[in-house]
Structure 1
Amino acid sequence: MRFNVVKNTVLLFVLVMISCANLSKSEAKNLKSEIIKQNEVLNKIENDSTIIVGANQMESYLPLLKGKRVGIVANQTSVIFKHNPTSSLEPSNDAYSHLVDSLVLLNIDIKTVFAPEHGFRGTADAGEHVKDGIDTKTNLPIVSLYGKNKKPSPGQLKNIDIIIFDIQDVGARFYTYISSLHYVMEASAEARIPVIILDRPNPNGHYIDGPILEMEHTSFVGMHPIPVVHGMTIGEYAKMINGEKWLANGIQCELNVIPLKNYNHSVSYSLPIYPSPNLPNDKSINLYPSLCFFEGTNVSVGRGTKFPFQIFGSPFLNPKLYDFEFTPEPNFGSKYPKHQDKLCHGKNLILTENLKILNLKWLIEAYNNTENKAEFFNTFFTKLAGTKKLQQQIEAGLNEEQIKATWQEGLKNFKKTKAKYLIYK
């Protein structure tokens, strides 16, 4: 670890000297101050067991950016930690600096920031179209990759030599950041632009579960034949996209993954920054893969409350069996919540044990105890499940054990495929 500190210090000192030649005295002073803060990242690491994210390993990727015109796919989670991250999930300038801000200070020639669902600063609702614009802090152009423009166009890439992808994922197939990853890799491969992935831990990387997506049901919430919970980091997943030739016409992207240090898939990881407005804490992130199925039903997952993806309920569930109550109202991250201003009956899952499997019992029980079963599911459910079979199985009265038994052959084959691309044990 001490060797890494020295390497970072020397490299950053050289960069400061180069950059300062083009800056005013005040700008140079600010830059030196920022570099000192960046060095504190490594100096404050307590021991060799601390996970070090890809973004913190500047000695590995800064040389690759020298003299290059850079595009960055980033959001509010794309940060360089100044000391060990905590589990507060509350932004703090004392805890980290944004990758884009840091690279600008280092005089890296950033041309464009590409923003995924929820936007560059992570403030847009789920499903809300993110608009192009200008970042007020850096004056850099922001190009949305959510809405009509999910894939960077040749025109948006024409002045770019290399792309950095640095976004915190949560390890679920229907979380759209891996779909954005696919399209960025595809566009970059077509334009012959290399991609650097700054890897980050998967908070749900400790298990694999769910039905395998059938390719006739592909959408932006599921593009590849994988289970709901895939158990891979975003760097490993990028390698699988490439290796399995899932990009258009089987093309492959020139890929460079900056791996995590001191990480394995059995290590628990508390995200220091919420990855999207409705995943505000560790509990919501752990429950997300199981509760997201409710997004394809008439049941609320708590959007429009203080506890999104930690509770569920509906006006149509039996209040004698579901004694927890809540009323969704518009709030940050949910301008138009399901069942707005209506009393919902459901369950509070905040105190449940963390899941190590995909839980179907809540979904099955809710279906069995709803007022009108014919209106329980909507068309979005099949996209989330990646198959029509799950809805059919629930409607036919199969229990969780029976349904999961039908997944096992697909999961076995996926694990064999996945093993080829793992970076971590």
Structure 2
Amino acid sequence: MRLQLLIFLVLSFSAAAVAQVPGADQTDVYLPLLKGKKVGMVVNQTSVIGERLSVDSLHALGVNIKMVFGPEHGFRGNASNGAEVGDEKDPATGIPIISLYGQKRQPTPKEMAALDVLIFDIADVGCRFYTNINTLAEVMDACAKANKELIIFDRPNPNGFVDGPILDMENKSGIGKFPIPITHGMTIGEFAQMVNGEGWLPNKTKCKIKVIKVKDYRHDMYYTMPVSPSPNLNTQQSVILYPSLCLFEGTIVSQGRGTYMPFTVLGAPALKGIFDFTFKPVSIPGKSETPLHQNETCYGIDLRQYDEKALHAAGKVNIRWIMDMYKAYPYKDKFFDRSQSAQIGDINKLAGVKAFKQQIIAGASEEEIRKSWEPGLSRYKQMRKKYVLYP
């Protein structure tokens, strides 16, 4: 009995001692690749080495960083969702910062000609409708056209499971460009390999990539993001709830934008008398300037105490919340009605298929809805195996 207890304690200590080491932290692996080269970096506030921005760290190490490219939310991560971001100069280093979420979505041929290599170092949350993978593909396209290498500092995916309907390409948009499920179950490095392998770049060109892998990482690990990935994903719980709650952006129900607890609460004014929990969205610069139901009291549910680790372990997008909220909403014809507010997104583009909305309206069971995702979901899982770098 004592021996079994000792073995258990040793194994538990060993498991706790193993920590994922992101690609960016492995300077000994990639610094030789950057020596004597003119470097560009695609980064945001999640691009850190330890607790310091990777741009600052590599600049201090003598890497010749010629320019920095910032995605949605900007280089420092303080721009609202969907807001255009302008060019600027980094006050800390003097390096030009060029926006990829303003007038353009990828580096220009002139910018690429001034570089020898480009680095992509942005943490992702593993969802089709999170725009970092779109930025990745645009950068890969620019590198392919310029015949330049893209070095990817890989990072863990906090939602590393595969679930949801495969995007029907007739619903292709800025929040869904690839035929993948809601949660694709890949790191940025793995997804880059899939983009190349499946011919998703224009004219099926391929980008020369080198992935600096994460050490000691598995897809089923619960990973806590050290830096908030965007202004409205400001807690670990919001990151884990995001794949399920972002579907509500296609409804009249607020997910808490305009509060300091976004993507952890759900509610709408019309749910008064049905739910007791309340919150009031207001304009918050840098987070949500004109949120849905601004200055109105919303009634709904508080998910801040929800066991996000259990949700992660389940490995599924929770569609019960949207099913139940539709049943509770008193004005069914307005639930998905985009004409009710400019803030309501297109549920078909978020879900990726038109059937999902119709299934919710028709009262289909969760089992029936999930069954309709096949055989596409199983085919995707099989295809994904060709590109994974981690167990």
Q: Same fold, TM exceeding 0.5? A: yes
Matches of 1:102 and 1:192, distance apart in 2: 27
| Equivalent-residue separation in structure 2 for 1:59 and 1:48 (angstroms) | 22
Q: Which residue identity does 1:371 align to in structure 2?
A: P
Aligned to 1:92: none
Q: Determine whether 1:365 maps to 2:324.
A: yes
Instruction: For 2:36 and 2:346, locate their aligned partners in 1 and report how far apart those are by CA, in whole Å.
Output: 46
In structure 2, the residue matched to 1:77 is 46
Q: Secondary structure at the match of 2:275?
A: coil
Cα displacement (A) at 1:142: 1.1
Alignment of 1:20-99 (within 5 A): 49-81=18-50, 96-99=51-54
Which residue in the other structure is 2:5 paired with?
Answer: none
Tell which deviates more after alignment, 370-379 or 331-340: 370-379
Which deviations, in whole Å up to 9, do the C-alpha atoms of 1:219-248 show, x marking residues without a partner?
Answer: 221111100011111111111111111101
Q: Tell me the TM-score normalized by structure 2.
A: 0.90
Q: Where does residue 370 of structure 2 map in the other structure? A: 404
1:259 is matched with which residue? 213
Within 5 Å, give how 1:175-194 maps onto structure 2.
175-194=130-149
More off after superposition, 188-197 vs 140-149: 140-149
- Give the corresponding residue for 2:276: 323
Answer whether contact 1:305 1:327 (CA < 8 A) is retained.
yes
CA–CA separation in structure 1 for the residues paired with 2:131 and 2:99? 13
- Whether contact under 8 Å (1:312, 1:346) holds in the other structure is yes
Q: State the partner residue of 2:352.
A: 386
In structure 1, what is the equivalent of residue 129 of structure 2? 174
1:342-357 aligned at under 5 Å gives the runs 342-354=296-308, 355=311, 356=314, 357=316
- Give the 3-state SS of the residue equivalent to 1:408 in structure 2: coil
- Offset at 1:74? 0.2
Q: C-alpha distance in 1, partners of 2:174/2:38?
A: 29
CA distance in 2, matches of 1:177, 1:245: 19
How far residue 48 of structure 1 moved from its aligned partner, in angstroms, is 6.0
Query: Which segment is superposed worse, 371-380 or 411-420?
Result: 371-380
User: Larger deviation: 351-360 or 233-242?
Assistant: 351-360
User: 1 CA distance for matches of 2:235 and 2:70?
Assistant: 22
* In 2: Cα distance, 1:58 partner to 1:399 partner: 50
Distance 2:16 2:182 in 1: 34
Is 1:143 the equivalent of 2:98? Answer: yes
| Map 1:332-343 → 2, pairs under 5 A | 332-343=286-297
Question: 2 CA distance for matches of 1:193 and 1:386?
Answer: 33
Aligned pairs, number: 364
Q: What are the residue-to-residue correspondences of 1:166-245 with 2, within 5 Å?
A: 166-205=121-160, 207-245=161-199
Q: Corresponding residue for 2:10?
A: none
Q: Deviations over 1:8-30 (max 9, x none)?
A: xxxxxxxxxxxxxxxxxxxxxxx
Between 324-333 and 411-420, report the one with greater CA deviation: 324-333
Structure-1 residue corresponding to 2:7: none
**What secondary structure does 1:220 align onto?**
coil
Q: Report the secondary structure of 2:110's partner residue.
A: helix
Specify whether residues 409 and 146 from structure 1 end up closer, same or farther in structure 2 by C-alpha distance, changes over 3 A only: same
Aligned to 1:85: none
Tell me if 1:286 matches 2:245. Answer: no
Alignment partners' CA distance in 1, 2:367 and 2:258: 33
Which of 269, 273, 294 aligns to 2:227? It is: 273
Q: 1: distance between equivalents of 2:27 and 2:294?
A: 46
* Cα deviation code 1:310-368 (max 9, x no counterpart): 00111122x33322111011224112211110010110011122213111111112222
How far apart are 1:190 and its partner, in Å? 0.9
> How far did 1:99 drift?
0.6
In the superposition, relative to structure 1, how do residues 147 and 216 fare at CA in structure 2: closer, same or farther (>3 Å)? Answer: farther
Alignment check: 8 A CA contact 1:316 1:370 kept: yes
> Is contact 1:48-1:262 (8 Å) kept?
no
Q: CA deviation at 1:415?
A: 0.6
Q: Aligned to 2:120, what secondary structure does the other structure show?
A: strand
* 1:101-145 deviation line (CA, Å, top 9, x unaligned): 111112211111110110000000111111111111111111111
Structure 2 unaligned segments of length 5 or more: list them: 1-14, 339-344
Structure 2 residue matching 1:238: 3-state secondary structure: helix
Deviation of 1:47 after TM superposition, in Å, equals: 8.1
What is the Cα deviation at residue 250 of structure 1?
A: 0.5
Q: 2:275 is matched by which residue type in structure 1?
A: Y
Question: Structure 2: how far apart are the matches of 1:342 and 1:209?
Answer: 34
79, 83, 90: which one aligns with 1:128: 83
Q: Which 5+ residue runs of structure 1 have no aligned equivalent?
A: 1-45, 82-95
